[in-house]
Amino acid sequence: MEFSEIFDKIEEQLEGEAHLDELARKKQDPFKILISTILSARTRDANTRIATEKLFAKFSTPKTIAEANLDEIELLIRSSGFYKVKAARIKDVSRILVERYNSNVPDNYEELISLPGVGSKTANCVLVYAYKVPAIPVDVHVHRISNRLGWVKTKTPPKTEVALKNTIPKELWLKLNRLIVRFGQQICISIKPKCESCSINNICPKDFSMELAIKKKIKNKYN
Ligand code: SF4
> Which tens digits make up the pLDDT trace of 103-156?
999 999 999 999 998 999 999 999 999 999 999 999 999 999 999 999 999 999
Nearest atom in ligand 1 to the alpha carbon of residue 187 is 7
Q: Is 189 in the pocket of ligand 1 (CB under 6 A)?
A: no
Query: For residues 40, 18, 153 and 108, what is the CA-based torsion angle, rounded to 10 degrees?
Result: -70
CA of 194 to the centre of ligand 1 (A): 7
Is residue 184 within 6 Å of ligand 1 at its C-beta?
Answer: no
Closest residue by Cα to residue 14 from 165, 187, 150: 187
Say how many Å lie between the CA of residue 44 and the centre of ligand 1: 21
pLDDT band of 88, cuts 50, 70, 90: very high
Mean pLDDT, the chain, integer:
94
Taking residues 45-68, what's their average pLDDT? 95
**CB 142 near ligand 1, within 6 Å:** no
pLDDT tens digit sequence for 152-211: 999 999 999 999 999 999 999 999 999 999 999 999 999 999 999 999 999 999 999 988
- Ligand 1 centroid vs 41 CA: distance in angstroms? 24
Full set of structural domains in the chain with CATH = 3-14+136-222 (1.10.1670.10), 19-131 (1.10.340.30)
The Å distance, Cα 62 to ligand 1 centre, comes to: 41
Which DSSP symbol is given to 188? S
3-state class (DSSP) for residue 121: helix
Say how far apart CA 17 and CA 48 lie, in whole Å.
13
Distance 193 CA to ligand 1 centre (A): 6
Report how far residue 19's alpha carbon sits from residue 166's, in angstroms, rounded to the nearest whole number. 28
pTM more than 0.75: yes
Kindly give the distance from the C-alpha atom of residue 150 to the centroid of ligand 1, in angstroms, as a whole number: 11
Asked if 14 and 186 count as a contact pair (C-beta separation under 8 A), the reply is yes
Mutate to test the pocket of ligand 1, among 11, 191, 200 (most ligand atoms within 8 A of CB): 200
Residue nearest atom 8 of ligand 1, based on CA coordinates: 188
